[in-house]
Amino acid sequence: MSKKEIKPSKAAFDALYESDGLSRRDALKLLGIGGAATMMGAPIGLYAEEPKASSDKEAQIVIVGGGSGGIMAAARLKRAASNAKITLIAPNEIHLYQPGQVFMAAGLLEESDIQKPNSDFIPSGVTWIKDEVTVFDPDNNKVTTSKNGDINYDFLVVATGIQYDYKAIEGMSEELVGQKGISSVYLSNFIEGTAKGGTATWQWFQDVRAAAQKANPKNPIKVIFTQPDTPIKCGGAPQKILYLNDDYLRGNGPGGGEDVHMNAKFTFCKKGKGLFSLPSYNKTLLEEVTPMYGNIDDKWDHILRKIDPDKKIATFEHAYEIQGVFDKDIGEYNMIQKTEMVDMPYDFIHVVPPMKPVDAVANSLLGWQKGTAKGWLECDQYTLQHKRYKNVFGIGDILGIPIGKTGGSARHHGPVLVENLIATMEGKALTAKFDGYTVCPLKTQYGKIVLAEFNYDGEAPSFPLDASRPRWIWWAFDLYMLKPMYWYLMLRGLM
Ligand SMILES: Cc1cc2nc3c(=O)[nH]c(=O)nc-3n(C[C@H](O)[C@H](O)[C@H](O)COP(=O)(O)OP(=O)(O)OC[C@H]3O[C@@H](n4cnc5c(N)ncnc54)[C@H](O)[C@@H]3O)c2cc1C
């Protein structure tokens, strides 16, 4: 535990559980049953899941990517395919627990709290090639690496995750994070195993607070938070930073202090006209969380396209509609789509980068060749098998499927991918299906989380509690329990 981490007393825990409408006993029962596991998407009670399918056939299985999905796949495949030769191609010596970057930004964890050597998690018997794949050649069942030449496979698991594209915003770059009032919690370097985004954003929180202390409600500082119009991993993180920063100005979080949040005007710019795709969570965020702060202005359909770090001006593309002529046949007005560029001056800005599939996949035959998912791995949204190359499967953020770029989703992809890959090895029909499960522990303030769980069919709460309520218990699970469960159970394929 980091020295800055807040550890409430037993009495404080009791009071907070009760504020969630739970007795301490019920809270501990939830915790024991698997509340923390749920935040990374583990079904209740599954702590030592046995493989549902196994094969003793000989085969070369290559996994590309050593993040959450790749490591989980290696652990599960090692148990399920006893005679397969499994090779993991992963450049990173250090494994980052990425959800911890948000707690770093909030001053509750440090970088060393979310780093561990990747070697701790690679199962014995799995060959680790510390390298990057530069070319995927599925027609010839091989990949090309940057230092170790070509590697052939019988089965391929693609687990390369996502790529940040800061440069898609004119004037923006990774180097600007931590300078000139700019931060971005996402920024990390997978090769070096560093999480600059977390460190820089905690400094940024303190800088915003220091500036707010010198301002006043009539002349507030301007703080902008952005969310791009591309798919992003952990879709809740842009809002987590918005609310935690606002709450930090209210004097909550490490260090406490006077409430200065009305000395700051917060603007949140995003695509769409709501804060969450599912109505109950959206209602809580719009009608409860946002008014609770009273200084947040949501700007719908505003996407950051350009930034001038010296003048501190952010330029947004604003999409809107105007009413056209009345169509008598259908009894409606035609709506005309318009866009305009809007300049917004700021003192501080939190930039969430546009995100895209890693180049090696996007430039290969494995990516969707056209359409809105172009470049993302073209796989079936239920079986996770490649649509055209039946010996190729995917796991994690790289999947070109409708929802679920979270560690929780990757946790659910793991057993499906392994069962279906084994079935393919055995020449059997694929029966395991991914239901679209994803999870977003949305931090609405220090000490409260709305635990949004959903799948392809809509809301999918694991607990008999109103999922739209911000609750202390989910915060406690997320901050205190999830990280060890990630390291010791999830990555080892044990839940
Ligand atoms: C700030 C933040 C907060 C988050 N919060 C949550 C949360 O609360 N809950 C949750 O469930 N999820 C959360 N996530 C998301 C979660 O971390 C990711 O969804 C998860 O890590 C995806 O796993 P992955 O294996 O697909 O990708 P990653 O874990 O990112 O791993 C991909 C790996 O592939 C490697 N790679 C890339 N290209 C190549 C190549 N060509 N050759 C070889 N290797 C390659 C990379 O180096 C990397 O190590 C958060 C993420 C961030 C950044």
Tell me, in angstroms, the distance from the centre of ligand 1 to residue 198's CA: 15
Phi/psi at 232 (5° precision): -130, 155
Question: Does any domain span residue 75?
Answer: yes
The number of the ligand 1 atom at minimal distance from the alpha carbon of 409 is 11
Q: What is the pLDDT of residue 49?
A: 58
Q: Ligand 1 pocket check: which of 97, 190, 201 to mutate, most ligand atoms within 8 Å of Cβ? A: 190
| HEC string for 234-288 | CCCHHHHHHHHHHHHHCCCCCCCCCCCHHHEEEEEEECCCCCCCCHHHHHHHHHH
Please tell me the distance between residue 64's alpha carbon and the centre of ligand 1 in angstroms: 13
Token representation of residue 121: 């998690």
Give me the CATH number covering residue 221. Answer: 3.50.50.100
Joined together, the tokens standing for residue 2 give 């980091």
Whole-number Å distance between alpha carbons of 207 and 202: 9
Q: Please indicate whether residue 108, judged by its CB atom, sits closer than 6 Å to ligand 1.
A: no
Give yes or no for residue 200 CB within 6 A of ligand 1. Answer: no
* E strand or H helix at 101: helix 100-105
Return the pLDDT at 465: 87
Q: State the residue range of the domain holding 249.
A: 167-355
pLDDT means per 10 residues in the chain (495 residues)?
43 54 56 52 51 91 98 97 97 97 98 96 96 98 98 98 98 98 96 95 98 98 98 97 98 96 98 95 97 98 98 98 93 95 98 98 98 97 98 98 95 97 97 96 97 94 88 95 95 91
Judgement on whether residues 259 and 171 belong to the same structural domain of the protein: yes
Q: What pLDDT, on the 0 to 100 scale, is given for residue 389?
A: 98
DSSP 3-state assignment of 391?
coil
Distance 195 CA to ligand 1 centre (A): 12
Contact yes or no for 417/395 (Cβ under 8 A): yes
**Probe target for ligand 1 pocket from 64, 166, 233, with the most ligand atoms within 8 Å of CB:** 233
* Distances in whole angstroms, Cα of residue 241 to Cα of each of 174, 202, 249, 384: 18, 10, 12, 32
The answer, yes or no, to whether any atom of ligand 1 lies below 6 A from the CB of 452, is no
Task: For residues 203 and 339, state if they share a domain.
Answer: yes
In a domain, 400, yes or no: yes
Instruction: Tell me, using a 6 A CB cutoff, whether residue 104 lines ligand 1.
Output: no
pTM of the model: 0.93
Cβ-Cβ contacts under 8 Å for 14 (sequence gap 6 or more): 24
Q: Are residues 188 and 309 in the same domain?
A: yes
Task: Based on the fold, state whether residues 337 and 216 are members of the same structural domain.
Answer: yes
Last residue of a domain, one of 366, 390, 425: 425
Instruction: Judge if 137 and 189 occupy the same domain.
Output: no
User: Do residues 314 and 483 touch, judged by C-beta distance below 8 A?
Assistant: no
Strand partners, 450: 442
The total of structural domains in the chain comes to 3
Residue 419 has which token pair? 């069962």
| Sole residue written with tokens 């070096």 | 192
Which ligand 1 atom sits nearest the alpha carbon of residue 71?
Answer: 25
Domain contains 279: yes
In a domain, 339, yes or no: yes
Ligand 1 midpoint to CA 68 (Å): 6
220 and 329 part of one domain: yes
Does a structural domain hold residue 246? yes
Q: Is the CB of 404 under 6 A from ligand 1?
A: no
Alpha helices of 273-406 — where are they, by DSSP H? Answer: 279-284, 290-293, 359-362
pLDDT per residue over 178-188, tens digit each? 999 999 999 99
E strand intervals along 353-400:
355-357, 392-394
The verdict on 196 and 82 lying in the same domain is no
Q: Is 153 in the pocket of ligand 1 (CB under 6 A)?
A: no
Residues belonging to the active site: 234, 440
- Report helix, strand or coil for 323: strand
Comparing C-alpha atoms, which of 172, 181, 280 is closest to residue 228?
A: 172
- Residue where a domain terminates, one of 396, 425, 454: 425
Q: Is 161 in the pocket of ligand 1 (CB under 6 A)?
A: yes
Looking at the structure, tell me whether residues 213 and 321 fall in a common domain.
yes
Cα torsion for 102, 107, 112, 113, to the nearest 10°?
-70
Give the separation between CA 321 and CA 9, rounded to whole angstroms.
Answer: 53
Same domain, 451 and 366: no
CB 437 within 8 A of CB 409: yes
Inside any domain, residue 125: no
Residue 430 lies in a domain: no
Question: Is the residue at 214 inside a domain?
Answer: yes
What's the CA-to-centroid distance between 406 and ligand 1, angstroms?
8
* Claim to verify: residue 290 and residue 410 sit in the same structural domain: no
CA of 181 to the centre of ligand 1 (A): 26
CATH of the domain at 382: 3.50.50.60
**Alpha carbon of residue 154 to chain centroid:** 31
469 plus 417 within the same structural domain? no
Domain end among 425, 460, 481 = 425
Burial of 466 (C-beta count, 10 Å sphere; 0-12/13-18/19+):
exposed
Residue 360 in contact with ligand 1 by CB distance below 6 A: yes
Give the number of other Cβ atoms within 10 Å of residue 326's Cβ.
10
User: Quick one: pLDDT at residue 331?
Assistant: 93
User: Which residues make beta-bridge pairs with 224?
Assistant: 267, 349
Same domain, 300 and 398: no
